[in-house]
Amino acid sequence: MSRTVKIEKKILEKNDTIAARLRNNFAKRKLAVINIMSSPGAGKTTLLAETIKKLSGRISIGIIVGDIATDHDAKILEDAGAFWAIQINTGGRCHLEAGMIEAVMELAPEKLNLLIIENIGNLVCPAGYDLGENVTVMLGALTEGIDKPKKYPGMYRACSRLVINKTDLENALDIKADDFEKEALMVNPKLEIFKTSAKTGNGMNEWCGWIASLVNAEH
């Protein structure tokens, strides 16, 4: 077991070196960068498509989408109005690594204000890999049940913002977003929390307002 841990440590150290270089390059370009993570099916792509529709008139948004297979999410986000959208198909790997981001950033157009990295749907491994982002966001869906923050504390602690999505299903599920929020704050009391329904638009103004503020902030 100890051998495995050492190997992982080496990979993580290499990742951190590349992430630091990326962070430096993002700052030079005055590019705000978000790394958004969630379990499969929490609604990342739908939330991002709605976000892009609201903001693409004002902000030039780039998207890097990670997936094990398929490339249709990048197409959806380009159709929604992303200035640049690229898919990283990891061919089975369960998380994005800084080296993958560095490789595709060579293709990124100059004219970007905001880069959103949509990580692989996985509540474990992506939490360990710094991608050079400014802000790390966790997207939880009400449909997952309120026990998830305590079951995946590494992810909930790795993020500074939490979006609780699919709030339109509160009644059908008999789960309250407020209860999800309480559980999340027990695991990470510093979380800033948004509650959204990408389907009905509920809470999207607050979320998009915050995203826009990142672009205006200093990095």
Among 9, 21, 151, 182, binds its own copies (CB under 8 A): 151
Candidates 22-30, 105-113, 150-158, 207-215 — which segment interacts with its own copies by CB under 8 A? 150-158
Say whether residue 129 binds its own copies (CB under 8 A). no
User: Which of 22, 32 has the CB closer to its own copies?
Assistant: 22
Question: Cβ(45)–Cβ(76) under 8 Å?
Answer: yes
Among 123, 135, 137, 198, binds its own copies (CB under 8 A): 123
Name the residue among 182, 127, 129, 196 with its Cα closest to residue 160. 127
Question: Cβ(138)–Cβ(35) under 8 Å?
Answer: no
Say whether residue 205 binds its own copies (CB under 8 A). no
Say whether residue 144 binds its own copies (CB under 8 A). yes
Say whether residue 124 binds its own copies (CB under 8 A). yes
Q: Return the SS3 of 114.
A: strand
**How far apart are CB 7 and its own copies at their closest, in Å?**
6
User: Which of 43, 132 has the CB closer to its own copies?
Assistant: 43
What strands, in cross-sheet order, belong to the sheet with 84-89?
84-89, 61-67, 114-118, 32-38, 135-141, 161-165, 192-195
**Cβ neighbours of residue 137 under 8 Å, at least 6 residues apart?**
34, 35, 36, 37, 159, 160, 161, 162, 163
Give the Cα separation of 211 and 17 in Å (integer): 27
Question: Cβ(183)–Cβ(147) under 8 Å?
Answer: yes
Distance of CA 146 to the CA centre of its chain: 20
Among 121, 133, 163, 203, binds its own copies (CB under 8 A): 121
Question: Which residues in the 42-101 window bind its own copies by CB under 8 A?
Answer: 43, 67-70, 72, 92-94
Among 20, 25, 145, 200, binds its own copies (CB under 8 A): 145
User: Which of 110, 174 has the CB closer to its own copies?
Assistant: 174
Four-residue CA torsion sign, 196, 202, 204, 205: negative
Q: Which two tokens stand for residue 130?
A: 């710094």
Say whether residue 201 binds its own copies (CB under 8 A). no
Candidates 18-26, 28-36, 115-123, 188-196 — which segment interacts with its own copies by CB under 8 A? 115-123
Question: Which residues in the 178-197 window bind its own copies by CB under 8 A?
Answer: none
Residues that bind its own copies (CB under 8 A): 4, 7, 11, 39-41, 43, 67-70, 72, 92-94, 120-125, 141, 143-145, 147-148, 150-154, 166, 169, 172-173
